[in-house]
Structure 1
């Protein structure tokens, strides 16, 4: 399981270090680093800038592991959960858009505290309503068990005043974690991102 988790995290992150790997895999950083070292030794990842990147060989290995995992998941049950997720997905997209843009022409400079707080309140409300569904998704696909804690950590940072954790791409922000969960669900259901984007379900 850890091999699959780390390879998938490396694919999703682009460059994966031990700290990010630990959060994604729900393990301590030392164990995550050992796992990353094993991927490098096997040729499934290469060391770059304090982290690793997945190699073409690693992508082939990941595809095989994901196919094996997909066969163990209750597809009808997960499809139903994905349909529930899709309703929240549209709401999250609107929140992130409003966080980034005041209107269609005006980027949000984050100088209006009341405006930003209203968007954050909407995100916090979404999180409270989404958390039970996330728990059910993790029960249906056990590899996704770290996601509830990752979402909780992100919203916790936002509530503490670190607003980078709303949507900053290079952090484990709420939007980043959401995007990665969406990718996971697409893969587990054998769907494609291109088709989901065409259907308006991309984040």
Structure 2
């Protein structure tokens, strides 16, 4: 069985997700993960509607317990230091996302200007390469996050191959989606809350 914490956390972050998409996110075997989800549903920790799964209140309570146990085994000082470093990269990604959506304060980017889009994508590649060493340190400190480097690289490869929907598409493992989920992980691992981070201007 795929580790319970991994599955419940991925379900929470995704909201409602198909088994195949969850398996791709976690790098797990789809058949095994489907069986895991059936077990979670039978145990009342997840619920399935129209082929998509989400956590139940009981599942979220169990996840809170598991995350609390995980934090006791991690170097939270190292994670807090990494999170402070992450903040600068988060600001840079927010700037890139703004440029991807708007060419200036009032002009939406219709993506008709290939040169403009290419410059933003080049900026994303630069950010990715600069951020990768920090991401490696984060994963070394919190090994459960091992699937994030692969997901970032996969999204960027698709963007650079011409499918720019992987920049910020909300219903897929786009670069923006993966970044948002990593941010959520770091907020939780360092004992922060999204509400407090949003109030401090650090939410994506």
Q: TM-score range by the shorter chain?
A: over 0.9
**C-alpha displacement at 1:19, in angstroms?**
2.2
Match of 1:41 in 2: 42
**C-alpha displacement at 1:26, in angstroms?**
2.5
SS at match of 2:167: helix
Match of 2:71 in 1: 70
Match of 2:199 in 1: 198
Deviation per CA, 1:167-198, whole angstroms, max 9, x where unpaired? Answer: 11111000000000000000011100011111
The answer to whether the 8 Å contact 2:166/2:172 transfers is yes
SS at match of 1:146: helix
Runs (4 or more) in structure 1 with deviation over 4 Å come to none
The TM-score with structure 2 as length reference comes to 0.96
Distance 2:135 2:20 in 1: 23
Match of 1:52 in 2: 53
- The reply to whether residue 18 of structure 1 matches residue 19 of structure 2 is yes
The answer to whether the 8 Å contact 1:11/1:53 transfers is yes
Uncovered stretches (5+) of structure 2, i.e. residues with no partner: none
The TM-score with structure 1 as length reference comes to 0.97
**C-alpha displacement at 1:23, in angstroms?**
2.8
Distance 1:19 1:128 in 2: 29
Query: Which piece of structure 1 moves more, 12-21 or 75-84?
Result: 12-21
Match of 2:169 in 1: 168
- The reply to whether residue 125 of structure 1 matches residue 126 of structure 2 is yes
User: How many residue pairs align between the two structures?
Assistant: 203
Distance 1:27 1:11 in 2: 17
Deviation per CA, 1:38-57, whole angstroms, max 9, x where unpaired? Answer: 11111101111212111111
The answer to whether the 8 Å contact 2:75/2:141 transfers is yes
Uncovered stretches (5+) of structure 1, i.e. residues with no partner: none
Distance 2:97 2:48 in 1: 33
SS at match of 1:47: strand
Distance 1:139 1:24 in 2: 19
Deviation per CA, 1:140-193, whole angstroms, max 9, x where unpaired? Answer: 001100000000100011011010000111110000000000000000111000
SS at match of 1:167: coil
Distance 1:181 1:159 in 2: 22
